[in-house]
Structure 1
Amino acid sequence: MSEQVNHIKEYRGYEYKDILVDKDKVGFYLDSYENFGWTVDERFMSRALQTANAKGKIQLKLRRERGLINRVELTRLQRHFEDSIAQMERLERSKTATATMAALTTGLIGTAFMAGSVFAVIHEPPLILLCIMFAIPGFLGWILPNFLYKNLVFKRNEEINPLIQQKRDELYEICGKGHKLLTN
Structure 2
Amino acid sequence: MAIWLAFLRGINLGKRQVKMAELRTCLEAAGFVAVKTVVASGNVRLEAEGGADAIKGKLETAIEAQFGFKVGVVLRSQAELKAMLDKHPFDTLDPKADVTRHVLMFDQPLPAGLRIEDRPGHTEILRIDPRDIYIAGYRQPNGRYTEGVEEVLKPLYAQLGKGALDTMRNWNTIEKMLA
Task: Check whether TM > 0.5.
Answer: no
TM-score normalised by length of structure 1: 0.26
Structure with the larger strand share: 2
TM-score normalised by length of structure 2: 0.27
Structure with the larger helix share: 1
